[in-house]
């Protein structure tokens, strides 16, 4: 397989300590530096002869099964996850079409946050909670086990909270709800709005 078909970690758009205290530099070092890198290494090792050489992450996640799906899914999920944050200290809120859609589909921003946190806290085991949109721009919250991503349901992934323990255990131990509640402080809503694209 050509090296051109291999994947690399996404560059972080902030310093590794910029998300503290919501996410510590130590967690970034393990989560981004070790966990994500392991998924990338596994994905690159599985690509030769798979028939997925040269395909995008989304294409692989939509079509692959087994270990190839698991590793590609985790690379895609973590790429979206790590690029949706901004430095702590200036929490924001959605604006424009995304804000209007949140009001339309959830009744308001606070109601949306409450439902999103509830679904994240209530997801059994490891996985992800997602805000996604359908082709008409309607917003939905999905719970995805393990490496799941809304693209497998024909949806566009917009925002995600990682509820695998490695995402929060160093900072919050077993207090998953506290972690989920804190993440709103570092969401870059401009990034989420661009993903929504309405």
Residue 90 pLDDT class (50, 70, 90 cuts): confident
Q: What DSSP designation does 164 have? A: S
Range(s) of the chain covered by CATH 1.10.287.990: 23-82
Q: Mind giving me the DSSP string for 77-138? A: HHHHHHTSB--TT------HHHHHHHHHHHSSHHHHHHHHHHHHHHS-SSEEEEEEE-TT--
Amino acid 5: pLDDT: 67
29: which residues sit within 8 A by CB, 6+ positions away?
Answer: 16
d(CA 58, CA 61): 5
As beta bridge partners, residue 157 has 132
User: What superfamily in CATH does domain 23-82 come from?
Assistant: Fe,Mn superoxide dismutase (SOD) domain (1.10.287.990)
Residue 2 pLDDT class (50, 70, 90 cuts): very low
CATH 3.55.40.20 at 96-196, yes or no:
yes
Question: Over 50: is that where the pLDDT of 3 sits?
Answer: no
Range(s) of the chain covered by CATH 3.55.40.20: 96-196
Number of Cβ within a 10 Å radius of residue 65 = 7
Give per-residue pLDDT as tens, 33-58: 999 999 999 999 999 999 999 999 99
């Amino acid at each position: 397989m050509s090296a051109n078909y291999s994947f690399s970690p996404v560059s972080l758009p902030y310093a590794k300590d910029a998300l503290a205290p919501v996410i510590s530099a130590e967690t970034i070092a393990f989560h981004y530096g070790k966990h994500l890198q392991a998924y990338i290494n596994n994905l690159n090792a599985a690509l030769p002869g798979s028939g997925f050489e040269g395909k995008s992450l989304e294409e692989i996640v939509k079509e692959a099964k087994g270990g190839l799906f698991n590793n590609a899914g985790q690379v895609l999920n973590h790429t979206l996850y790590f690029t949706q944050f901004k430095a702590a200290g200036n929490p924001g809120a959605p604006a424009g079409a995304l804000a209007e859609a949140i009001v339309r589909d959830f009744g308001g921003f606070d109601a949306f946050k409450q439902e999103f946190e509830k679904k994240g806290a209530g997801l059994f085991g490891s996985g992800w909670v997602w805000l996604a949109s359908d082709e008409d721009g309607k917003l939905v919250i999905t719970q995805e086990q393990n490496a799941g991503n809304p693209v497998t349901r024909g949806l566009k992934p917009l925002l995600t909270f990682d509820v695998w323990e490695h995402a929060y255990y160093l900072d919050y131990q077993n207090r998953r709800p506290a972690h989920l509640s804190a993440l709103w402080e570092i969401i870059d809503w401009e990034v989420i709005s661009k993903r929504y694209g309405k």
